[in-house]
Amino acid sequence: MVQHPFAAALILATLGFSCWRLVYLAFKSTNAIRWTFDLELASTALCSWILAALLYRLTLHPLANYPGPVIAACTDWYNVYWVATGNRHLEIDKQHKTWGTTIRYGPNRISFCSEGAHRDLGAVNANVLRSSVFSSFKKFFGVDSSATTLDPKEHAFRRRIDYQTLMPRILQAYESRVTPHIDFMTTHLAEDLPKASSEDQEGEWGPTQNMTSVLTYCIADIMADVVFSQPWNVQRDPRNRRPIEMLPKSTTGLLVVGHMQTVIRLGLHWVMFFPFIKDILQFLLLAKSFASRRASLSDHDLEGRRDIWSTLLVSKDAETGRTFTPEQLTSEAGMFVTAGTGTSILAVSSTLFYLLRYPHTLTRLAEDIRARFSVNRTSPNQNGSTPACPISWGSSELQNTPYLYACIYEAMRLSPGLPGFSPRVAGPGGVSLDGIWFPEGTELGIPFWSLNRDARYFPDPLTYNPDRWMPVTQGGQGLQPGSGPAAAFTPFGQGRFGCLGRHFAMQEVTLILSHLIWLFDIRQEPRKDYGGKNGNKPEGRGCDDEFQLHDRFTGDGDGPYVQFRHRSF
């Protein structure tokens, strides 16, 4: 209020006018035609109610003194707008640059960009709950998953069961559900390339590939196979691609709706936001059909190969003795596909983007990987010209390739899987973050995009520098994600909401990248204009050297546009 005297004066004046109108109408009522009077009275009362709410939000609300855009303090339509554009992470970043560490980005929402706040919010025993933003999922689909339920006990129960499917020691069982899809992708890429005249010569460069698309199809096939024992077949059959291509945009829809709890309470979300969510409805129908087909498979059909479904089916919660109901089983299985697809695509595509933008990092990584994994002359050739890649799922040598991990972490820092918020709500009695107390019910979010680029924690933050994550003994800075000086960087979240698939994801991402880099030379499409050279890019998107994302709860990119050629052996 103090910061916005003009807005406050305007609102006061309008409120005064409304009160006068009410009094005037009350006097006039004896002579007025009844329905006209009712209409005028109702609209005046509505305007007065809205203005009173605005006034309260700007003056007496517990968050009234936090800085930020006036419109954000007044209404959540600010959030709806920015979420719908996919640019909310850029807008929030701009606001933090203007106002500092803590900003009010909704009437009841605080964005807190500090390592201390991140630590306190993510602590296992933090007095916070999941925000009602996630409730839109259940409102539309009638079911919840561990990634959306607001009930802490239900969440903990589902998490305990889900964890049993992704424990590091059982991941090896998924090998035959992962590697064939990666092999299909690389074989397909190789088929498009001009043949090299001999093995010890590089070939010609092949056609341009949009790696976000290539990876989307590969990773969707992997996830459907790992979860449901059913290849989605999106790599082979373009007709199957629409649901997976539309998934990022439809999660935006859920996020948009989640910010409008009043609209949901009035049941208007179906009408107002249907265009946003119709694609996710299609996706869920597809997940249901996967689930019913999977339910009809017997152990014999699986030929001894484990999938996530079979583990979920038999797992029992040690604390409560409960198992999943058929509905819970279906919603959890579908959730694994949504949670594990977009995030992994982004991790691989952004790493490729930055490796190509900083060619010395690509050269170093390729030399390292090719030196560690030598050519196996006895294994069958792919497409007659390229020896098969010897790197296998779960390879301990691969897991001990620090520069590969460093390159991925650094790309995830600049292109976080969750560029925006994963909001929490202060529990009964309130919560203290980084020394600041927030009352019960306040919605609190860490702006991951901004935090990961904060020069207080990552000097020279916009430079892609994998050496930050290399051990000191190998000339690096020795940072480790989520601890010590890099505590601000937690690419897989933390605490009781942290990612259950992190070990699986790192195995998958490292395997895909190492296969591409071992098999092919890669270069950026020479003619592609990535950045704001034409001066017509929206604010925050002008940098040529940055992988551009849309915040659709998970980050959604495009490209990089690359060309491959056969490497020499």
Q: Report CA-CA distances (Å) from 512 to 92, 105, 422, 501.
A: 33, 38, 27, 16
Q: Report CA-CA distances (Å) from 424 to 75, 114, 486.
A: 19, 16, 22
Stretch that binds ligand HEM, among 38-46, 367-375, 473-481, 492-500 (CB under 6 A): 492-500
Peptide bond into 526 cis (omega under 30): no
Asked if residue 255 binds ligand HEM (CB under 6 A), the reply is no
Q: Which of 415, 422, 510, 563 binds ligand HEM (CB under 6 A)?
A: 422
- Residue 53's closest CA among 74, 76, 81? 74
Q: Which of 95, 344, 465, 548 binds ligand HEM (CB under 6 A)?
A: 344
Strands 109-112 and 443-445: parallel
Q: Report CA-CA distances (Å) from 349 to 301, 335, 344, 510.
A: 35, 22, 9, 12
H/E element, 556: strand 554-557
How far apart are CB 137 and ligand HEM at their closest, in Å? 12
Asked if residue 353 binds ligand HEM (CB under 6 A), the reply is no
Stretch that binds ligand HEM, among 103-111, 202-210, 336-344, 481-489 (CB under 6 A): 336-344
How far apart are CB 123 and ligand HEM at their closest, in Å? 13
Asked if residue 231 binds ligand HEM (CB under 6 A), the reply is no
8 Å CB contact between 58 and 1: yes
Q: Which of 63, 92, 126, 147 binds ligand HEM (CB under 6 A)?
A: 147
Contact pattern from residue 153 through residue 182 relative to ligand HEM, giving x for each residue in contact according to CB under 6 A and a dash for the rest: ------x--x---x----------------
Per-position b or e across 205-221, b if 16+ CB within 10 A of its CB: bbebbbbbebbbbbbbb
Asked if residue 491 binds ligand HEM (CB under 6 A), the reply is yes
Asked if residue 493 binds ligand HEM (CB under 6 A), the reply is yes
Helix axes 359-372, 326-357, angle to 10 degrees: 110
Q: Which of 95, 102, 146, 351 binds ligand HEM (CB under 6 A)?
A: 146
Stretch that binds ligand HEM, among 168-176, 342-350, 367-375, 479-487 (CB under 6 A): 342-350
How far apart are CB 122 and ligand HEM at their closest, in Å? 8
Q: Is 499 annotated as a binding residue?
A: yes
H/E element, 226: helix 211-228
Contact pattern from residue 88 through residue 127 relative to ligand HEM, giving x for each residue in contact according to CB under 6 A and a dash for the rest: ----------------------------------------
Q: How far apart, in whole angstroms, are the C-alpha atoms of residue 235 and residue 252?
A: 25
What one-character-per-residue DSSP string does 30-49 give? TTS-HHHHHHHHHHHHHHHH
Asked if residue 354 binds ligand HEM (CB under 6 A), the reply is no
Q: Which of 137, 273, 492, 564 binds ligand HEM (CB under 6 A)?
A: 492
Judged by beta carbon, residue 232 or residue 504, the one nearer ligand HEM is: 504
Site size for ligand HEM, by CB under 6 A?
25
The neighbour count for residue 10, using CB atoms within 10 Å, is 13
Strands 554-557 and 424-426: unpaired
Binding site for ligand HEM (CB under 6 A): 146-147, 159, 162, 166, 336, 339-340, 343-344, 347, 417-418, 422, 491-493, 497-501, 504-505, 509
Binding site, annotated residues for heme? 499
